[in-house]
Amino acid sequence: MLRSLAIRDFAIAERVELELGPGFTVLTGETGAGKSILVDAIELLVGGRGDAAVVREGTERAELSAEFEIDARGALASWLTEGELEGDAGTLILRRTLDLGGRSRCFINGHPVTLAQMREAGEQLVDIHGQHEHQSLLRAAAQRELLDAHAGAESLARDTAEAYRAWRRLETLAAEAQARSARREAERAELEDKVGELGRLALREGEWDELAAEHSRLAHGSSLLAGAQSALDALSESEGACLGQLAAVASRLRALCAHDPQLRASVELLESAEAQAGEAVREMRRYAERIELDPQALRAVEARIEALHGAARKHRVRPAELPGLAQELKARLDELALAVDAEALEREVAAASARYQAAAAKLSEKRAAAARALSKAVSEAMQQLAMAGGRFAVALRPLPAPGASGAEEVEFEVAAHASLPLRPLAKVASGGELSRISLAVQLVASRASPVGTLVFDEVDAGIGGAVAETVGRSLKRLGRDRQVLCVTHLPQVAAQGDEQWSVSRASAKGRLASTVARLDPAARVEELARMLGGSAITATTRRHAAEMLGK
């Protein structure tokens, strides 16, 4: 669950810190105070896309951080260990900065990570349901993705799409093979020559750097030997060599230590220098013995360098890139060989088609089971949202031709009343009904979500009265199993919260700034009274608020 959230210079929030607990937490405040800024911050911390526009005016960088409590033996902890991103046991800290230049930096437990890594961690931590999600649910793709998520078939859906693309790529290749066989044969012959030529060079990855180092050593063998000998002379072999002088000076001072012990430190330093210089002499002698003046080896290296240079010029790449080029040309040649072999290509097309059909059939089976369960659960949830007799159904219709998304189209259908027939969700006329149906879907979907923190951003828009109270109770029940955060403008929902935070804004030095505060019971009554009665708070609204909170 989310333990704490800290925001600095983000949108209109200067410095905001929240310490959060388990259960159902509500965030309230006047319109424009910045309630949804907190949701936006969480979304960015779990891998959402951001830009320079989120940086608070007059500052250079926005900083966001969140601390989560995680299962020390769970899948996420294992993922952190595999990626060498561990922190304290049972704790995960996300941090992200965004600056005016549009640059973003991401950290997990203090380790720099990519946005994709932050998103991968975030998918296991938080599930966010936005206030405009009812609009996205009108799209067929969103309906299909929600069903696949409810079925636990997201990975299978990706595999099916990849199998479809692979099948279609091979079909396209087969068509090209028939229409352009002569051109492909000419390209194949040219590639065979190139691959053969590069193959004869017996290229090795990293060889160019090795040759450069070897050539430099061989070409400067005389200089290296002379330098080593000169160093040996200066250190130990010439008259007045420094090794002998170091020993003499150390001996002279050692004798004087009897008269002044303070010289002992200098003597120890000189003895250490003498020992290190002696080791340097021994190492230098070994080095000088190993140096080879081998003109024949130098000529061989130069010949190899010239051969690689020539091949690189011919193929218009750098010499170090030749091994990679050879692999690319070989892969293309293999592909062309397959394209020219019509029978082999047809076998590949048939095999790819079979792989797709198997994946699509398995996906269809999972979708059918999930569609029945989702239809039943959402229909039951609708009864609690003032839609008695309403029905929800997930229709699966076979496509005339298979596609990347599977063998069927997914469409949500709904009947708001028992007397009405099921119709596509996209054709529901009432905005209020659409909001309630969307909320029912989200409540059901969130129960199936494996993450520990669920965030609802004003998903109760368009409802009120007893329905709002039912929504609040549903979110409270959800909070018994998971941590639930909800941005709401409805007092009936806010009163159900185990904890309530109020977001307000004020102007300081000509700039707006949001502040967030946890409300005690008395302050909750005042906030609920404001939500009930607006700016004119009376004793009656306070009593009503206290009664609502008491329930």
Q: What is the DSSP string of 331-399?
A: HHHHHHHHHH-HHHHHHHHHHHHHHHHHHHHHHHHHHHHHHHHHHHHHHHHHHTTT-TT-EEEEEEEEE
| CA proximity to 38, closest of 501, 510, 511, 529 | 501
Which helix (H) or strand (E) segment holds residue 502: the answer is strand 499-508
Residue 427 contacts residue 419 (beta carbons within 8 Å): no
Cα–Cα nearest to 401, from 167, 79, 184, 193:
167
Contacts of 118 (CB under 8 A, 6+ apart): 45, 46, 47, 94, 96, 106, 108
pLDDT at 388: 84
What is the Cα–Cα distance from 320 to 511, expressed in whole angstroms? 57
Q: What confidence score (pLDDT) does residue 330 get?
A: 85
Separation CA 81–CA 70 (nearest Å): 13
User: How far out from the chain centre does Cα 541 lie?
Assistant: 47
Prediction pTM value: 0.58
Residue 19 burial (CB count, 10 A): 12
The continuous run of DSSP H or E covering 15 comes out as strand 13-19
Q: In angstroms, what is the C-alpha Rg of the chain?
A: 36
Sheet with 453-457: list strands edge to edge.
111-113, 104-108, 91-99, 61-69, 2-10, 13-19, 511-518, 499-508, 24-28, 483-487, 453-457, 126-129
Q: Interhelix angle for 322-340 vs 295-315, to 10°?
A: 50
Q: Rounded distance, CA 435 to CA 452, Å?
A: 25
Tokens, residue 471: 């929504």
Closest CA to 378 of 445, 435, 316: 445
What is d(CA 153, CA 525) in angstroms, rounded to the nearest whole number?
45
pLDDT of residue 398: 94
The rounded Cα 278 to chain-centroid distance in angstroms is 55
Output phi, psi for 288, to 5 deg.
-65, -35
H or E element in which residue 526 lies: helix 521-533
Q: Which residues of the chain have pLDDT under 50?
A: none
Distance CA 23, CA 479 (A): 4
